[in-house]
C-alpha cells in the first residue's frame, strides 16, 4: 500500500508513523523557565541520538494556529537547555501522564 503524505492530513501521517514503532516508550519531560514556570508533558516519539552523553531528542510541535504559537514545552524551555526526562510507561504513572497530556491553557 502506498500513502501520499502530500494528499493526506497531518494527523493521518502521524498515525501511520507511530504505528511503525510499538510499543513506544513514553518519556515525561519536565522543564522550568527563568520565571520558575513549570511544564510537564509526555512524549512518545523520543530518540537517544548519543549514548555517551545524556541527550534525548524529541520534537515539540506548535499549537495549531495560523501563526507561530509554541506549546508550553517550548515556551517554558530553559535557556540553559536543562530539562528532566523520566521514563513514564509504568502502570502506576499512566493516570498522571494522561493528565499531563491534556491541552490546558498556557499557565496551567
Q: Which tens digits make up the pLDDT trace of 49-107?
A: 766 666 777 777 777 777 877 788 877 777 776 777 777 656 656 778 788 888 888 77
Per-residue pLDDT of 39-56, as tens digits, reads: 888 887 777 676 666 677
Closest alpha carbon to 85 in 51, 52, 36, 42: 42
Distance of alpha carbon 87 from the chain centroid: 13
Amino acid at each position: 500500500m502506498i500513502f501520499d503524505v502530500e494528499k493526506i492530513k497531518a494527523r493521518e501521517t502521524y498515525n501511520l508513523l507511530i504505528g511503525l514503532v510499538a510499543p513506544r516508550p513514553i518519556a515525561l519531560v519536565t522543564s522550568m523557565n527563568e520565571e520558575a514556570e513549570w511544564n510537564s508533558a509526555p512524549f512518545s516519539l523520543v530518540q537517544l541520538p548519543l549514548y555517551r552523553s545524556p541527550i534525548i531528542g524529541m520534537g515539540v510541535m506548535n499549537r495549531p494556529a495560523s501563526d507561530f504559537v509554541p506549546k508550553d514545552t517550548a515556551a517554558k524551555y530553559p535557556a540553559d537547555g536543562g530539562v528532566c526526562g523520566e521514563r513514564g510507561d509504568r502502570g502506576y504513572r499512566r493516570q498522571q501522564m494522561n493528565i499531563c497530556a491534556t491541552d490546558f491553557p498556557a499557565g496551567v
